[in-house]
Amino acid sequence: MELAQLLSRVDHTLLTQTATWPEIRQLCDDGLRCGCASVCIPPSYVKQAVGYLAGQLPVCTVIGFPNGYSTTAVKCCEAADAVANGAAEIDMVINLGWVKDGRWDALLSEIQAVRDACHGNVLKVIIETCLLTEAEKIRLCEIVSQSGADYIKTSTGFAGGGATRADVALLKQHIAPHLKIKAAGGIATLQDGADFLALGADRLGTSRIVKAVKEL
């Protein structure tokens, strides 16, 4: 895979708790220079980044992040606020407790409610694969496929594990044809990125791919 094609699938990401505006601005500059799919940043910086980028690169942000146990109303408010501030893509975290409780209908309803709050903008659903059994991953493929979301996303990167090749292959096997996969967490090298795309991922959530390119 050509380097430019790989970079065009990257959501260039900075979600650390201490992220500053100069760091976000540099992320935007690097994402723009490298032809990334988007920059993925904290909600508090969305409006500033959208103004800075002036339509040259989509801004993605996170909802219910990283733990996913905010109420549905809070997640919808966060999503609507992010969209109002100019976010083009929303990555939401599901309620993992509801997964463990088997509350599948509640999970589906929540994703659909957040989807509606996105007003047609891209929605990615983070399922935190490192905390799930294989059966739970498969069931969530069905739920997210039914929800109207655009992507199923492996991980926040904040739960002790990230995307694995086995998980991406499993998701690809069980999602509906219209649903896309975002692999995130632990994607460190250009080879990692190429491997995940070859296994069926459409997007890569990472900061280290661009860093690796800058070091070439």
Q: Which residues are catalytic?
A: 91, 153, 182
Alpha carbon distance 176, 89 (integer Å): 20
Q: Which long-range contacts (CB under 8 A, 24 or more apart) does 133-136 make?
A: 134/170, 136/99
Q: What angle do CA 203, 84, 149 make, to 5 degrees?
A: 35
Q: Which amino acid is at 61?
A: T
Count the helix, strand and coil residues of the chain and give each as a percent rounded to the nearest 5.
Answer: 50, 15, 35
Which of 107, 193, 191 is CA-nearest to residue 149?
Answer: 107
Do strands 180-184 and 203-206 pair parallel, antiparallel, or not at all (unpaired)? Answer: parallel
